[in-house]
C-alpha cells in the first residue's frame, strides 16, 4: 500500500493496451479469469472489470487502515510514544492513498461521462457504480484523515497533561524539601559557634525536627488542596 503502482491504459482503434513497470495484481487476476474463460467478454467489459478489481484492492487497504485506526483508538494513551509512531505511519499511508485516489476519481468521472456514447447501458451503469465506489473510498479516507488528526490532538493533549502533572509533583516535592535543604545546609557549615556541637543528642534532635517540619508541610499543603 505504501508503494502505489501506476497503471495506464490506451484504447486505440479497437484495441486496449495497458502499461505498467511492475506486475499488477488486478491485471493478473483478469488474466487468470480470461485463461479460465470466465473473464470479460468485450474491451468495454474489460475496462470496467479492471476498475472493479482496482477498487477491490483499494477497499482492502482502506478496511485494513480503518481496523488499525480503531485499534489505536482502543489502545488509549498510556504509551504515548508507541501511539505516536503508529499514528504517524497510518497518517502517511492515508495521505498517499488520498494523493493517488483523487486524480483517479477525476479520471473515472470523465470516463463515465464520455463512455455513455460507446458502452451498453448495463456496462455504463456498472461503470457509474464503480465511480461511486471510488468516491465512497475517497470520502472514507478523508474521514479517517480527520480521525487521525483528532487522535493526534488528543495525544498531544495527553502528553501535555502528563508533563504538567509531572511538573506539578516536582514542584510540590521541591516545595517540601526546600526548607529542609535550607536547614541541612545551614547546620552543615563546619565553623565554630554551631549549636549542639558538644551535645551528643543534637543530631537525633535535628533529624526529629526535620521529620516534624516535613509532616507539617505535608499537612499544610494538603489543607491548601495542592493535590
Q: What whole-number distance in Å separates Cα of residue 9 and Cα of residue 49?
A: 13
Q: What whole-number distance in Å separates Cα of residue 174 and Cα of residue 83?
A: 32
CB atoms within 10 A of CB 140: 19
Give yes or no for a contact between 43 and 14, defined as CB atoms under 8 angstroms apart: yes
CB atoms within 10 A of CB 134: 22
Straight-line distance from the first to the last Cα atom of the chain, in angstroms, rounded to the nearest whole number = 49
Q: Which residues make Cβ contacts (< 8 Å) with residue 184, sequence separation at least 6?
A: 210
pLDDT tens, per residue, the chain with 227 residues: 555 778 888 888 878 888 888 888 888 888 888 888 887 888 888 888 988 988 988 888 889 888 888 888 777 767 777 888 888 888 888 888 888 888 889 989 998 888 888 888 898 999 999 999 999 999 999 999 998 888 888 888 878 888 888 888 788 788 778 888 877 877 777 666 677 767 777 778 888 888 888 888 878 777 766 65
Q: Which residues make Cβ contacts (< 8 Å) with residue 77, sequence separation at least 6?
A: 83, 154, 155, 158, 159
pLDDT, position 2? 53
Q: What whole-number distance in Å separates Cα of residue 2 and Cα of residue 63?
A: 15
**DSSP letter (8 states) at residue 156:** H
- What pLDDT digit, counting tens, does each position of 50-104 carry? 889 889 888 888 898 888 888 887 777 677 778 888 888 888 888 888 888 888 8
Cα 100 to Cα 5, 28, 75: the distances in Å are 10, 21, 30
Q: Domains (ranges, CATH) in the chain?
A: 8-157 (1.20.58.340), 166-223 (1.20.58.340)
pLDDT, position 227? 58
18: its cell numbers: 495497458
φ, ψ of residue 9 to 5 degrees: the values are -125, 145
Q: Any long-range contacts for 99-108 (C-beta under 8 Å, 24+ apart)? A: 100/4, 101/58, 101/134, 101/137, 101/138, 101/141, 102/138, 104/54, 104/134, 105/131, 105/134, 105/135, 105/138, 108/51, 108/134
Amino acid at each position: 500500500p505504501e508503494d502505489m503502482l501506476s497503471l495506464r491504459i490506451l484504447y486505440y482503434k479497437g484495441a486496449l493496451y495497458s502499461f505498467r513497470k511492475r506486475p499488477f495484481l488486478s491485471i493478473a487476476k483478469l488474466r487468470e479469469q480470461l485463461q479460465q474463460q470466465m473473464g470479460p467478454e468485450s474491451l468495454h467489459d474489460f475496462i470496467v472489470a479492471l476498475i472493479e478489481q482496482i477498487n477491490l484492492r483499494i477497499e482492502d487497504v482502506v478496511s485494513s487502515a480503518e481496523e488499525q485506526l480503531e485499534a489505536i483508538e482502543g489502545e488509549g494513551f498510556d504509551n504515548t510514544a508507541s501511539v505516536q509512531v503508529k499514528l504517524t505511519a497510518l497518517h502517511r499511508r492515508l495521505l498517499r492513498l488520498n494523493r493517488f485516489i483523487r486524480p483517479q476519481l477525476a479520471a473515472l468521472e470523465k470516463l463515465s461521462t464520455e463512455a455513455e456514447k460507446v458502452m451498453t447501458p448495463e456496462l455504463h451503469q456498472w461503470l457509474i457504480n464503480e465511480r461511486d465506489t471510488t468516491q465512497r473510498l475517497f470520502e472514507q479516507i478523508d474521514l479517517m484523515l480527520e480521525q487521525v488528526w483528532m487522535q493526534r490532538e488528543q495525544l498531544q493533549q495527553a502528553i501535555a497533561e502528563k508533563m504538567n502533572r509531572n511538573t506539578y509533583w516536582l514542584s510540590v516535592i521541591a516545595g517540601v524539601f526546600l526548607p529542609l535543604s535550607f536547614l541541612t545546609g545551614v547546620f552543615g557549615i563546619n565553623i565554630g559557634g554551631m549549636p549542639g556541637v558538644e551535645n551528643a543528642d543534637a543530631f537525633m534532635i535535628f533529624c526529629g525536627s526535620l521529620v516534624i517540619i516535613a509532616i507539617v508541610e505535608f499537612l499544610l499543603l494538603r489543607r491548601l488542596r495542592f493535590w
